[in-house]
């Protein structure tokens, strides 16, 4: 059967980039449609009428929205390079920490752009507490997924982005000294070609920093 896979995405959205990484990890050929969030395509509005957001994966004209829903759909449809473990308890753990990143870490990072002075320091403290949770998850493992990159690694890519942008702004939000396992993980994944392909290109990183500071709520819009 002819498979047709399309992704409506946006270059600055970590949620959209997540799905791209997932597609590349499974070597699924796809057509990418870059959305201008101030002028969304009629297709996007038709495929995601409820939220009108990116990313949306369209598989043989059937749309799937919400990055984590998309990633689980992909894992169940294309069985090569599985993202989630087979064991139900380990799956629950992977989903728990992924939800932690999305529900806790990302909003705290978003808040950071809006704070200054003492409040900023407190927010950075909060981020460090959240980083500790993830650091503990890496103990004894090469990747969050164990021996291979998996579901939680895909979601945790935001840490790589922060590390890169931290080098540009000079403002280190991620404490790589306090959390050496996370730092080693960042170095390890950055050696992977597919990961590099899904990072924001160097020439766009300044733009991303400005965008992130202006529209913190969610880069997927």
Near another protein by CB under 8 A: residue from 28, 52, 100, 199: 100
Asked if 50 is part of the footprint of another protein (rule: CB under 8 A), the reply reads yes
Q: Measured between alpha carbons, how far is residue 195 from residues 60, 177, 184, 202 in Å? A: 26, 23, 15, 14
**Considering beta carbons, is residue 140 or 170 the nearer one to another protein?**
140
Separation CA 120–CA 23 (nearest Å): 36
Contact pattern from residue 118 through residue 157 relative to another protein, giving x for each residue in contact according to CB under 8 A and a dash for the rest: ---------------x------------------------
Separation CA 176–CA 181 (nearest Å): 8
Contact pattern from residue 157 through residue 196 relative to another protein, giving x for each residue in contact according to CB under 8 A and a dash for the rest: ----------------------------------------
Asked if 70 is part of the footprint of another protein (rule: CB under 8 A), the reply reads yes
Asked if 45 is part of the footprint of another protein (rule: CB under 8 A), the reply reads no
Near another protein by CB under 8 A: residue from 3, 4, 34, 76: 76
Separation CA 183–CA 178 (nearest Å): 9
Shortest reach from residue 76's CB to another protein, in Å: 4
Q: Would you call 65 helix, strand, or coil by DSSP?
A: strand
Residues 6+ apart with CB under 8 A from 13: 54, 55, 219, 220, 221
Separation CA 205–CA 208 (nearest Å): 5
Q: Would you call 212 helix, strand, or coil by DSSP?
A: helix
**Considering beta carbons, is residue 164 or 181 the nearer one to another protein?**
181
Q: Contact positions toward another protein, by CB under 8 A?
A: 50, 59, 62, 64-66, 68-70, 72-73, 76-77, 88-89, 91-92, 95-96, 99-100, 133
């Amino acid at each position: 059967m002819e498979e047709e896979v399309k992704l409506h995405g946006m270059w600055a959205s970590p949620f959209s980039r997540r799905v791209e990484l997932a597609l590349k990890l499974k070597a699924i050929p796809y057509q990418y449609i870059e959305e201008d969030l101030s002028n969304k395509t009629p297709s996007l509005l038709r495929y995601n009428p409820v939220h009108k957001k990116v990313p949306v994966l369209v598989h043989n004209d059937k749309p799937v929205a919400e990055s984590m829903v998309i990633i689980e759909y992909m894992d169940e449809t294309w069985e090569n390079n599985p993202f989630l473990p087979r064991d139900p308890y380990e799956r629950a753990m992977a989903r728990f920490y992924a939800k932690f990143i999305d529900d806790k870490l990302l909003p705290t990072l978003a808040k950071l752009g809006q704070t200054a002075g003492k409040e900023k320091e407190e927010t950075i403290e909060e981020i460090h507490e959240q980083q500790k949770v993830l650091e503990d998850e890496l103990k004894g493992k090469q990747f969050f997924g164990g021996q291979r990159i998996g579901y939680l690694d895909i979601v945790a890519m935001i840490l790589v982005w922060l590390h890169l942008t931290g080098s540009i702004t000079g403002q280190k939000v991620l404490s790589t000294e306090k959390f050496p396992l996370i730092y080693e993980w960042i170095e390890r994944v950055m050696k992977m070609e597919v990961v590099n392909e899904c990072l924001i290109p160097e020439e766009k990183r300044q733009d991303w920093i400005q965008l992130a500071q202006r529209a913190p709520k969610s880069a997927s819009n």
